[in-house]
């Protein structure tokens, strides 16, 4: 079977909070580990892939957050004092999309997991940034409601196709509580995405949104401001 493109993966990805018992095969675990290694190589960001461990999301808070039967997850952390939130968003979302390509479903979780159990999995000297649930989904999730494009991105009559595609991809990105607190602007081939206003996990969101924009627009078409 031909593998779906990252663009398709972005379109089809939605948060999934209910999972099947189906075990994730070794070759898929290995493929995600390869992707993780290439993303975090030489960085202070650490991403641990945790398999067959139902404890990480076994808590009242996780159930309250509608998580069911989470058996696998990623733990993102960085050495204490290093701000790796944006990198966590960017690299975590690349892994989320890779997981989608491999048939898995995912959901970012900043709050609704078993913090005590997950803390034990964080390397010594690191601080936990965020967790991502993954596995075979009991469903495929649903498309989030999005704010109108014009509110999130500056537009002009001569916007090139790559910019419009990047903006559309950015709008499909997951953000904490679906807040979409970012603004995109373009000057020629230079693009900026900045956080706007207040909210939880804004820098993580920013990394996720930049990842989507890059895939949608094509890295070769623009540079970051």
Ligand X SMILES: Cc1cc2nc3c(=O)[nH]c(=O)nc-3n(C[C@H](O)[C@H](O)[C@H](O)COP(=O)(O)O)c2cc1C
Binding site for ligand X (CB under 6 A): 14-15, 17, 65, 107-112, 130, 141, 144, 174-178, 201, 204-205, 208
Q: Which residue is nearest to ligand X (CB)?
A: 174
Q: Please give the Cα distance from 5 to 139 (Å, whole number).
A: 21
Residue with tokens 């675990």: 29
Q: State in angstroms the smallest separation of the CB of 32 from ligand X.
A: 19
Q: Least distance in Å: CB of 190 to ligand X?
A: 26
Q: Which residues contact 75 (CB under 8 A, 6 or more apart)?
A: 47, 48, 50, 56, 118, 121, 122, 128, 131
Smallest gap from residue 220 Cβ to ligand X (A): 27
Nearer to ligand X, 34 or 177 (CB): 177
Nearer to ligand X by Cβ, of 39 and 160: the residue is 39
Evaluate the CA torsion angle 131, 196, 65, 145 in order and state its sign. negative
Q: For 57, list phi and psi in degrees, rounded to 5.
A: -120, 20
Provide the residue count of the chain. Answer: 225
Task: State the nearest-atom distance from the C-beta of 180 to ligand X, in Å.
Answer: 9
Q: Which is nearer to ligand X, 75 or 208 (CB)?
A: 208
What SS3 state is found at 88? helix
- Gap between the Cα atoms of 16 and 7, Å rounded: 19
CB of 135 to ligand X, least distance (A): 15
Burial class (CB in 10 A: 0-12, 13-18, 19+), 61: middle
Query: Which one, 40 or 175, has the nearer CB to ligand X?
Result: 175
In the complex, what is the shortest distance from the CB of residue 109 to ligand X, in angstroms, rounded to a whole number?
Answer: 4
Number of C-beta neighbours around residue 88 at 10 A: 27
Query: Is residue 197 helix, strand or coil?
Result: coil
The nearer residue to ligand X, 141 or 160, going by C-beta atoms, is: 141
- Residue with Cβ nearer ligand X (105 or 186): 105
With tokens 């593998």, the residue in question is 3
């Amino acid at each position: 079977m031909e593998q779906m493109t990252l663009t398709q993966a972005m379109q089809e990805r939605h948060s999934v909070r209910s999972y099947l018992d189906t075990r994730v095969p070794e070759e898929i675990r290995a493929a995600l580990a390869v992707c993780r290694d290439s993303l975090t190589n030489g960085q202070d960001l650490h991403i641990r892939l945790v398999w067959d461990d139902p404890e990480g999301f076994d808590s009242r808070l996780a159930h309250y957050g509608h998580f069911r039967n989470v058996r696998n997850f990623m733990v993102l952390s960085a050495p204490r004092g290093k701000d790796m939130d944006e990198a966590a968003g960017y690299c975590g979302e690349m892994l989320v999309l890779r997981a989608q390509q491999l048939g898995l479903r995912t959901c970012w979780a900043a709050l609704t997991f078993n913090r005590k159990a997950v803390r034990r999995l964080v390397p010594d000297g690191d601080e936990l940034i965020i967790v991502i649930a993954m596995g075979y989904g009991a469903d495929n999730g649903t498309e989030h409601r999005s704010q109108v494009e014009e509110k999130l991105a500056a537009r002009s009559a001569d916007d090139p196709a790559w910019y419009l595609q990047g903006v559309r991809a950015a709008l499909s990105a997951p953000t904490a509580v679906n807040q979409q607190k970012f603004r995109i602007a373009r000057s020629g081939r230079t693009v900026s995405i900045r956080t706007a206003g207040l909210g939880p996990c804004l820098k993580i969101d920013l990394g996720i949104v930049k990842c989507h924009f890059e895939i949608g627009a094509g890295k070769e078409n623009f540079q970051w401001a």
